[in-house]
Structure 1
């Protein structure tokens, strides 16, 4: 995925300013940066949920604007940060929505296999027939993530997917995303607030600040005090633990 000269404004406020960025295929790329940096807006624009005002976004060499909706939904999926679905449906029915771009509601055996596998991968098999309105915040978040996985797209965009997840499920989910990248060739782009998760799991990091790309490189080259301190306007100390760079900031 390639972004050229992307700028976005809401009213008189500039949210994204002249973004040039190339996301490598088959990698897990994390977006980090302070609140208001433009991470969510960039991710949402990359999924075409927000229209491109200035600039271009290319997916596998094709302008994002030229994709038909169904065609795009077979190649790219996104989990937004805020999800509110006021429907009395089960977890299984929610996850089944992911297969609509392929079967238009007439589920095939392949669809059902992908639905069941995604539910199992997120540890929701016992809750598959449970109404989503009765789920805890963490259970519902896992159900939404299962829906994204069942869509089975080449590109997976996730905006703060660890919200409401406890440590155990957060780590499990990141291991699963790593597996999707390394074993199945998926391209995962994820917005993270926890820079230690980014440091431990991402192949590359895009650091954003004030609507601009502050830094972009392989993870090991981004997790440095001379980058993180001015990025967050605070003192970040980095320690090596079991070969991983861990950031101490409190």
Structure 2
């Protein structure tokens, strides 16, 4: 369980998050949704200790995240950021291997190598293992970064717009892999802009608007025409296919 309590954050004289309280249930996928500038990436950054709140706290279970030593925190939680700087001459295999650093700094064991290879397979990167990162397309680089995060094998995964640059097939692959990990007990929080994908794969949804929680609950509770109209200021239709909401702008 990740519990955000009264989180407040400002930048450049502007209030980005205002007393946000929300939960990410354990062993589930929580989707953060909302319009541009709502505070989704900031909230994810506070969960991952990439930013410091002005007020409030993030709890990992019964522990205050701020009090967990960094090496231990890195073995419990990992984060994929929107903009990640990558040394251009790294190979894909080397990059994914960095995910094992919190467990075995500087030297990969045979078990580490097995995990790295499995994560590359999960992201369909086997044939790119020896390619240098700067020779890849944007989508291939994104899959390599996701594989690196998966290789860290933490109990909590935070992903900021993981489907950026991905085509339909690879987006589906990523979400299916995240679903499998949540079923295995991982807690996953992800920023998603495609509401139909969020409705299909998320168990829990936190909708942000103007730095506050606008709605929180199951996809069925959040993805209604009334809630989405207020959230985005646009009319939508919500249909159901195989029991899941499908959101269409009008």
Q: TM bucket by the smaller chain?
A: over 0.9
Q: By how many angstroms is 1:84 displaced?
A: 2.4
Q: How does 1:187-206 map to 2 (within 5 A)?
A: 187-206=187-206
The answer to whether 1:208 aligns with 2:212 is: no
Aligned twin of 1:153: 154
The answer to whether 1:73 aligns with 2:74 is: yes
RMSD over aligned Cα atoms: 0.9
Contact 1:239 1:246 in 2 (8 A): yes
Contact 2:219 2:245 in 1 (8 A): no
Q: How does 1:18-167 map to 2 (within 5 A)?
A: 18-167=19-168
Q: By how many angstroms is 1:85 displaced?
A: 1.3
Normalising to structure 1: TM-score of the pair? 0.97
Q: How far apart, in 1, do the equivalents of 2:242 and 2:67 lie?
A: 46
Contact 1:99 1:105 in 2 (8 A): no
Q: How far apart, in 2, do the equivalents of 1:55 and 1:96 lie?
A: 35
The answer to whether 1:231 aligns with 2:231 is: yes
Normalising to structure 2: TM-score of the pair? 0.97
Q: By how many angstroms is 1:71 displaced?
A: 0.7
Contact 1:119 1:125 in 2 (8 A): yes
Q: By how many angstroms is 1:240 displaced?
A: 1.6
Aligned twin of 1:11: 12
Q: By how many angstroms is 1:86 displaced?
A: 3.0
Q: How far apart, in 2, do the equivalents of 1:192 and 1:170 lie?
A: 11
CA offsets per residue over residues 29-54 of structure 1, 9 Å max, x none?
Answer: 00000000000000011100111221
CA offsets per residue over residues 117-155 of structure 1, 9 Å max, x none?
Answer: 000100000111111110010000000000000000000
Q: For structure 1, which runs of at least 5 residues remain unmatched after alignment?
A: none
Q: By how many angstroms is 1:87 displaced?
A: 3.2
Q: How far apart, in 1, do the equivalents of 2:102 and 2:220 lie?
A: 38
Residue aligned with 1:82, SS: coil
Deviation >3 Å, runs of 4+: none
Q: By how many angstroms is 1:110 displaced?
A: 1.3
Q: For structure 2, which runs of at least 5 residues remain unmatched after alignment?
A: none
Which deviates more, 141-150 or 82-91?
Answer: 82-91
Contact 1:209 1:231 in 2 (8 A): yes
